[in-house]
Amino acid sequence: MILMRMMQHRALRYLGITAGCLLASSSINLFLVPSHLLTGGATGIAMIFYYLFQLPIGLQTFLYNIPLLVAAWRLMGKGYTFDVIIGTAIFSFCLDLTRPLNAYAPVSDLMLAAIFGGVFNGIGYGLVFRMNGSTGGFDIIGAIVKKYWSYNMGGVIFSFNCMVMLVSAFLFGVAPAMFTLICMYMNSAVTDKVIAGFKNRKAVLIVSNRAEQIADGIMDEVHRGVTFLHGAGAYTHYQRDVILAVVNITQVTKIKLIANVIDPRAFMIVISANEVLGKGFSHPGSDLRDMMKQRLAQQKSAEREKQ
């Protein structure tokens, strides 16, 4: 039973990775290639040679990833590399599969092509990363550098992408490179949004001498749970409760009003919480959750038998 659920979970995961790769590759061939724009990573290098010599982008991308995959196999382990190989192969195949979309470019304006190409590219990559997948390229270099030299992975990838843009500016002019930068920014922003989730929540911290009254007001009027955190002033050492509540973005205004009415001197911090798991919010995948429950039950049963 557990093995079957694991296989179903893995199948759905690879289906999500395939969907993300198909969307990202379609975006590249619909928006970026007809406008002679680039994307980041090994695909960006492949696109440069495509513009110069008409070499297939997908095949190039896969070939450029081979030495990186070998390095990942030796330095990062088989578990990490296996998923990257699958993601790279699917993405490379989809790039050449969707190549005929070049003839159906929906926009001719460079700015629109950069924006929409970056947005749809970001959605595709976000789906891949949300499924714990990878399309290879500079992600591998970033992971290796982070593991052995503790450099920021995002900074390493951005540095290599800047090198690609410089080559693009030298070969095709400054304007395409600038629009490529816009595309990369949109890509990064949307990717982060998809990975984090679109259901934005807010974590509210309130410091007040009337914490119990404010907590009662939040529970009665907003119908959200409240947690007391015990805190103390660093200077005065005065003990007091700090209210923690996680709410929808539309409920923040009501909490501000409740706190201000009960205690106008209350100190409040509102923090973005991109993903919240638990009662009243989102939950992990049901199949995986059931699988883990069954595994824990089996472990407890085995422990009882030993006793």
Q: Which residue has the higher pLDDT, 299 or 168?
A: 168
pTM exceeding 0.95? no
Contact between residue 21 and residue 90 where contact means Cβ atoms under 8 Å apart: yes
Distance CA 99, CA 129 (A): 23
CB 30 within 8 A of CB 97: no
**Residue 226 in contact with residue 244, Cβ under 8 Å?**
yes
Residues of the chain with pLDDT > 90: what percent?
46
Residue 278 has a pLDDT of 65
Domains in the chain, start-ordered, CATH in brackets?
A: 2-196 (no CATH), 201-273 (3.30.70.120)
Q: Report helix, strand or coil for 202.
A: strand
List pLDDT tens digits, range 34-75.
999 999 889 999 999 999 999 999 999 999 999 999 998 988
